Amino acid sequence: MVENKIRVALTGNPNVGKTTIFNAITGARQKVGNWPGVTVEKKIGTKAYGGHVLEIVDLPGTYSLTAYSADEVVARDYILEEKPDVVVQVLDSTNLERNLYLSTQLLEIGTNLILALNMSDLAEKRGEGLNAHALEKLPEVSLIKTTAKESKGINELLDAVISKSGSARPSNNKIEYGEKIEEKIRHLERVLAEDETLMARYPSRWLSIKLLEGDENAHSKLTSSKIEAEVKKFLSGLNTEEYEAEMADKRYEFISKLLPEVSKSHVEIMSGSDMIDKVLTNRYLGIPIFLALMWGMFELTFAFATPFMGIIEMFFGLLAEIVTANIDSPWFSSLLADGIIAGAGSVMLFVPNIFILFFLLALLEDSGYLARAAFIMDRLMYAMGIQGKSFIPMLMGFGCSVPAVMATRTLEDRADRLITMMVTPFMSCGARMPVYVLLAGTFFGKQAGSVIFGIYVLGIIVAIVSAKLFRTIIFKGSPSAFIMELPPYHRPSAVNSFKYMMNQGFLYLKRAGTVIAGGVMVIWLLAYFPQGVEYGSAESYIGSLGKLLEPLVAPLGFDWKIAISLIFGFLAKEVVIGSLGTLYGTGADEGMLSSALAADPIFTPAVALGLMVFTLLYVPCIGAVAVIKKESGSWKWMFFAAAYSTAVAWIMAFLTVKMGNIVFA
């Protein structure tokens, strides 16, 4: 029944176990999407409990509500404007000081607040016995101890939610900022009170504090208000940065008084996490260990996925054969076999890689290591013009650009996100590997391995140079400061990792699949018509297009067949090989194709190397491009990414062929 519905906002710092609590409460009853207008992930789950239906909204992890990042704006606006019945803040009991800073800001908003002291077992093991009753000195704030990984305290938390939901919103929870600041707050409150519409939406004290802090998002809420000019006039004579710093000091002062009463002991002992970090984040050992772990992860991904990929490939190949053999109409048979089935196969083929990669990444994240990886790489990444967190999406790019681009949503700063989004496709994804293997094996013999390694290194170098270029020309300024709380190490949960894998995997299928299906239809039409010509031949529309484009790639030593193959490669990079097989009449037999390429005078070692470079750098597949559009929220950035990468590919391939002609002459 609607009257029994309770809306609950779940908030907290990153890595405090918020998602684990969300999963423990809602189980599989979750919906994943994006918040309106932004690409921050939105997760909503429901739970029937105690005669009520609880709607749990998992807000983005955030350290504060100062609205510097999209995550902070989303979390704050939801609490302010949607006015959930209860706000549950999940705190890491082993690091209360930093976590309580967010609590002080939630108190200022005036919410029905419950503090879930998560990882309380770890805090007690570290000798930091928690005095839960100390926080109850805060008026109208409830406190529950939880250990989310073991689902301890979850029912108590839900009981508290139900109990809290009927309460009036508190008004006595406030931090005292001293007379000088309080006088300014009172003045602003008096001015704001003249706009009743504004006051119906936002607490006057909270809004006054944010205006005094120079919060741009808070200022935007005054747009078109009759008191906007008066507020601006009042604030124009104040140094808001100074006030912001003073108020932050006051909040920490409040926390420092409260903390000794909450944590019974502050014995400084080296925890297990501290000892592990002595090795894993060591200045000299950190990066080699990290690279070894990543290498192992990719080895596992492809080792486990390869048999499944073979089965999927065989299944779709068999399905296409059955359709071709049993449908008389040539065009309809081709549409199903060469268009729809081949397109679906290209999406499904990489599902095992993506699901396994997400599962392994979830294990690393759940263990607490992934946060360390970003920390380890921060210095190097900062020199490139992006922050340490950017390394995670770029690393994922070696597997598949689609989830890698999606992973940029974890970056708070939009400039960092866009730069990372633009350069991540330069990291050579697994789909390009068949092209390298065929061409390097055909033209470079025993040196094939070294050539392929060089191609991967080239992708990294181009990504680094491009990031620096973007930061220097387009996104001027320094990367945002990298602030990340390193969580204690945990034994990763297979169940949570499995749920994460399923959520992210199906998101890939939904987003990439729908776009690729449309792309397949277009390419099939171009390759099949006009009727009577061989599919994908020079006489087809796609062949005519290849002839039309041939002058553009002729300086690279490429002909119309290569041009067509590269066009098909826009659908998926593996298709480059399939297209060459069709055009050279060898089908899927890579041995015959290798011989045909070696016998073609167009193909020289220099051209083969140039084609590998072009395949590495030119516009990523249609799935990745579509995800760039989704994640950037802009057609402009999607077209820019496609145009920039193709231009870089052309220049680099041109230089490669020219230099290769000299070296291999």
Query: What pLDDT shows up at residue 360?
Result: 85
Query: What pLDDT shows up at residue 1?
Result: 44
> Does 493 fall in a domain?
no
The verdict on 124 and 207 lying in the same domain is no
Query: What pLDDT shows up at residue 611?
Result: 95
The verdict on 343 and 372 lying in the same domain is no
Residues belonging to the binding site are 12-19, 23-24, 26-27, 37-41, 58-61, 118-121
Residues belonging to the binding site for GTP are 12-19, 37-41, 58-61, 118-121
Which of residues 198, 231, 264 is at a domain's end?
264
Q: What is the mean pLDDT of residues 413-423?
A: 87
Q: Which residues pair with 89 in a beta bridge?
A: 11, 115
The verdict on 354 and 418 lying in the same domain is no
The verdict on 392 and 461 lying in the same domain is yes
The verdict on 437 and 469 lying in the same domain is yes
Residue 409: helix, strand or coil by DSSP? helix
Residues belonging to the binding site for Mg(2+) are 23-24, 26-27
Please count the structural domains in the chain: 4
Q: Is the pLDDT of residue 442 over 60?
A: yes
> Does 490 fall in a domain?
no
Q: Is the pLDDT of residue 37 over 50?
A: no
Q: State which residues form the domain around 286.
A: 271-367
Query: H or E stretch including 164?
Result: helix 154-165
Q: Tens digits of per-residue pLDDT, 99-133?
A: 888 888 888 888 888 988 888 777 776 666 666 66
> Does 507 fall in a domain?
no
Q: Tens digits of per-residue pLDDT, 427-439?
A: 888 778 778 878 8
Q: Is the pLDDT of residue 29 over 60?
A: no
Q: Tens digits of per-residue pLDDT, 519-531?
A: 566 767 777 788 7
> Does 385 fall in a domain?
yes
Q: Binning pLDDT at 50, 70 and 90, where does residue 167 land?
A: confident
Q: What is the mean pLDDT of residues 348-355?
A: 73
Q: What is the mean pLDDT of residues 69-75?
A: 72
The verdict on 204 and 158 lying in the same domain is no
Rounded Cα gap, residues 151 and 146, in angstroms: 8
Supply the CATH number for residue 112's domain: 3.40.50.300
Q: Binning pLDDT at 50, 70 and 90, where does residue 187 land?
A: very high
State the chain's mean pLDDT as an integer: 80
Query: H or E stretch including 48?
Result: strand 41-49
Residue type, 415: A
CB 387 within 8 A of CB 480: yes
Strands 41-49 and 52-58: antiparallel
Query: What pLDDT shows up at residue 452?
Result: 84
Per-residue CA distances from 162 to 132, 421, 461 (Å): 20, 42, 55
> Does 400 fall in a domain?
yes
The verdict on 519 and 548 lying in the same domain is yes
> Does 285 fall in a domain?
yes
> Does 171 fall in a domain?
no
Which of residues 166, 197, 222 is at a domain's end?
166
Supply the CATH number for residue 215's domain: 1.10.287.1770
Range from 284-293, 304-313, 651-660 carrying the lowest mean pLDDT: 304-313
Q: Is the pLDDT of residue 221 over 90?
A: no
Q: Is the pLDDT of residue 610 over 70?
A: yes
The verdict on 150 and 196 lying in the same domain is no
CB 523 within 8 A of CB 568: yes
Rounded Cα gap, residues 517 and 511, in angstroms: 10
The verdict on 190 and 135 lying in the same domain is no
Which of residues 143, 166, 189 is at a domain's end?
166
403 prior amide bond cis, ω within 30 = no
The verdict on 71 and 159 lying in the same domain is yes
Q: What is the mean pLDDT of residues 616-643?
A: 88
The verdict on 112 and 124 lying in the same domain is yes
> Does 492 fall in a domain?
no
Q: Taking phi first (over 0 means left), then psi (-120 to 50 degrees means alpha), and beta for anything else, what does residue 633 get?
A: left
CB 499 within 8 A of CB 366: no
The verdict on 210 and 303 lying in the same domain is no
